[in-house]
Structure 1
Amino acid sequence: MTDRERVDPHMYARVFESHAEGALILEDLVRRFHRPAQLEGGIDAVLKTYHREGARSVVDHIVSMINRANGVDPNEHDEQQP
């Protein structure tokens, strides 16, 4: 991949925040793939959770890149230290 082809956080922000269709697509991805762990059902629940986490990680990456473009530190936590 050359320097011209590199994808940066600002590209994610433009595609998924600034572009109306991109924002709709991101909403759809979150709705479809950002699901909680399956807590009941034995080994089947574990497998379903692994599958969900795989799909969720893609959405999390997109949101993380948008946050970086907007100056949000990915290492910051919501809780403030005393």
Structure 2
Amino acid sequence: MSVDPSVYKEIFEDDRRGAALLEDLIQRFARPAVQTGGIDAVLQTYHRLGERRVLDFIAAQINRANGVPDPNAEPGE
């Protein structure tokens, strides 16, 4: 099932409760790469990137609903 990007905009941008939820998610899961610690730092960074990927998807959907093209989209998407 595919959800129209406008739904993401309505929930996470237009609705103040959704905007607050998105802000909370960003504060919790949009963390920078780990700079020290060898292989453990690499693994922690990969973990953080996995968490952030969901936030990036939501932001991309909001942008699409606002008419901003996704530079990472495959042609025809």
Do the structures match in fold with TM over 0.5? yes
In the other structure, the counterpart of 2:50 is 54
Runs of at least 4 residues of structure 1 off by over 3 A? none
Structure 2, unaligned runs of 5 or more: 73-77
What is the count of residue pairs matched by the alignment? 72
Q: Which residue of 1 aligns with 2:60?
A: 64
1:16 matches 2:12: yes
The one-letter amino acid of 2:30's match is: H
Please state how far the C-alpha of 1:14 moved relative to its aligned partner.
0.2
Task: Calculate percent identity across the aligned residue pairs.
Answer: 57
Shift of residue 74 of structure 1?
Answer: 1.2
Deviation per residue, 1:14-60 (Å, 9 max, x gap): 00011111000000011111111111100110110010000000000
Separation of aligned partners in 2, 1:11 and 1:69: 8
In structure 1, list runs of 5 or more residues that go unmatched.
77-82
**TM-score under structure 2 length normalisation:** 0.88
